[in-house]
Structure 1
Amino acid sequence: MEFRHLQYFVAVAEELHFRRAAERLHIVQPALSQQIARLEEELGVRLLQRTKRHVELTAAGRVFLVEARAMLEHRDEATAAVRRAAAGSTGRLAVGFVGPAAYSVLPGVVRAFRGEYPDVDLSLHEHTTAEQLEMLAARQLDVGFVRLPSAAEGLELEQVLSEPICVVLPAGHPLDNRPKGAPLEVTELRGEGFVVVPRSREALVFDRIVALCHGAGFSPRVVQEAQQVHAIIGLVAAGMGIALVPDSMRALRRPGVVYRSLPPSSNTAVGTGLAWRREEESPIVEPFVRIVRALAKNQVDGATSARP
């Protein structure tokens, strides 16, 4: 039995007239009659009661009409689903991200992607840069927002965000004694206790902080480590020390801390990039990359137009 046999039967059952059904199907009437007869022979039941004047459905024919319509509808749904999957508009996409990306680029990307591709099952996974690179290679992630610079064989990497590092101080700290918005010099952080992410977890961020301090003539005195940036900010609020974090973390408006900028001349920018496999087969990755690129470009254009 083929799907065309079901289509032939449904047309005859709905028209209850072989000539009109044949015209609807764009085939000749004798061929249609032969195909219906073969279908009945294959099923071993009579589906239609024929006379010279009219055609009627038998009891078996009425049951088969319901099933035939359901099978044709399921075929159409399956075909549409396959085509959506091939076009990247359905399926599953696993996205990795470093914690601070949840306060910067990630929310806008997720909103835009889900708005354009609502049928894609989007799953988000927070991991370090090193963990994401390994998971991408193992095909446990499809794309990942990682710290730059990073390098891994077989992966594409594009910068999507560059943001300065800012200082987090406990409220009432002696360095919080200047007009709001006035920057701190890195040299003023000498002698302070630093709360940091362990180098074993985020080497790029740790090394950037150390390099900033060395450039100002001192080594940071690490007094406490924490695995997540939001935990670092909580420890600063508790008075454990100060911290250097990506500027996007200002969005975490936690009581008990203040954020202070560093001078642009201190060269404090840290980069966030999008990583995906170079030989990617999933059709869903390409539209995700396209959306990220568009949002990153809009952000750069907006920042440029905002400059005096």
Structure 2
Amino acid sequence: MELRHLRYAVAVAEHGHFGRAAEALGIAQPPLSRQIAALERELGVVLFERVARGARTTAAGAVFVGRARRVLGEVDAGAAEARRAARGEVGHLRVVFIGSALLELLPSLLARFRGGHPAVTLDLEEASTRRGGAALLGGEADVAITRGAPRGKGAEGLSAIPVAHDHLIAVCGLAHPFSGQRRVDLDQLRAQPLIAAPDAEEPATAHAIRSLLDDARRAPATVTRARDVHTTVGLAACGVGIGLLPSCARAAARADTWVLEVEPALPLPDLVLSFRADDRSPVLDAFLATVAVHCPDTGRHLERLGRPHTREVSEQ
């Protein structure tokens, strides 16, 4: 018994006539009649009564056709689901990201991806750059968004593309003498108590800040370590010191704080999206294609890696 035999039986039952069923199936009537007769012999039951004006199901035929419809429905649903999975429209994607990615990049990117792929389950985890890289390298994540590319054993097997650029800014409370200024220079910063993320959370940014503020002629600045961007901004609002943040943190500024540019400008390590180079999951490809649309500068990077790019998802 083959699936076509089920389709033949359902067609005869629906049309109540061998000729009309054959026409709907796109085959001649004699082969259809022979296939139904062969199916009846295989089952050992009569499925259809041949009557003057056509055919009607027997009791056995009604039961068989009912089951056949359910089987064909499951087969068609499975085929449709398989095609959707091949297009990356269903499945599961594990994304680990640093908190500052939530300030500008992720809200609109995830909304765009969810809009085009509502059946994909996103498993999202906020983590430090170090933890995010380790999760990707350890197979606990499919995508990592970190400050700078992940490092460590196995990093050579990763593909990493920049998705956002940042530079250093400073934030202070409204009562601070710097409030109202547009800019602050390094000498001014070195003389102030500072607030920054712990080295373990943002090692690349912490290194850049240390290099910027290093001056052998002066005592090192006092630095209060804050857990995240919002804590840094909150402590600055309380007058604890000057918060040092990536420029995307402007989105987290409060009414009781003031944001200043730092001179000279200090580019910070890029916000980088990384994934395993040998991961050819359709869901990952769909996510990367959305990234290419959402962050146009990434398209050329992805194309060099042989991954999806904007032309493939222009319908999004």
The question of a shared fold, defined as TM-score above 0.5 by the shorter chain, is answered with: yes
What's the CA shift for 1:150? 4.1
What's the CA shift for 1:236? 2.2
Question: What is the distance in 1 between the residues matched to 2:44 and 2:225?
Answer: 77
Structure 1 vs Structure 2 CA RMSD: 2.4
The runs of 4+ residues in structure 1 deviating greater than 6 Å are: none
- Asked if residue 147 in structure 1 is aligned to residue 150 in structure 2, the reply is no
What residue number does 1:286 align with?
285
TM-score (norm 1): 0.86
Contact map agreement 2:87 2:283 (CA 8 A) in 1:
yes
What residue number does 1:166 align with?
169
Contact map agreement 1:194 1:242 (CA 8 A) in 2:
yes
Contact map agreement 1:90 1:117 (CA 8 A) in 2:
yes
What's the CA shift for 1:59? 2.8
Superposition map of 1:1-308 within 5 A: 1-151=1-151, 152-178=155-181, 182-214=182-214, 218=218, 219-222=220-223, 224-263=224-263, 265-297=264-296
Question: What is the distance in 2 between the residues matched to 1:215 and 1:66?
Answer: 83
Report the residue type matching 1:164 in the other structure. H
Q: Which runs of 5+ in 2 are unaligned?
A: 300-316
Aligned length: 295
Q: 1:168 to 1:26 in 2, by over 3 A?
A: same
What's the CA shift for 1:298? 6.4
Question: What is the distance in 2 between the residues matched to 1:118 and 1:88?
Answer: 11
Contact map agreement 1:212 1:268 (CA 8 A) in 2:
no
What's the CA shift for 1:217? 6.0
186-195 or 42-51, which moves further after superposition? Answer: 42-51
Contact map agreement 1:237 1:255 (CA 8 A) in 2:
no
Report the residue type matching 2:179 in the other structure. D
Q: 1:22 to 1:246 in 2, by over 3 A?
A: same
What residue number does 2:307 align with?
none
Q: What secondary structure is seen at the aligned counterpart in 2 of 1:284? A: helix
Contact map agreement 2:142 2:276 (CA 8 A) in 1:
yes
Report the residue type matching 1:231 in the other structure. T
What's the CA shift for 1:42? 4.2
What residue number does 1:303 align with?
none
Structure 1 vs Structure 2: percent identity of aligned residues?
37
Q: What secondary structure is seen at the aligned counterpart in 2 of 1:144? A: strand
Contact map agreement 2:100 2:229 (CA 8 A) in 1:
yes
Q: What secondary structure is seen at the aligned counterpart in 1 of 2:65? A: helix
What residue number does 1:304 align with?
none
Report the residue type matching 1:109 in the other structure. L
Contact map agreement 1:187 1:216 (CA 8 A) in 2:
no
TM-score (norm 2): 0.84
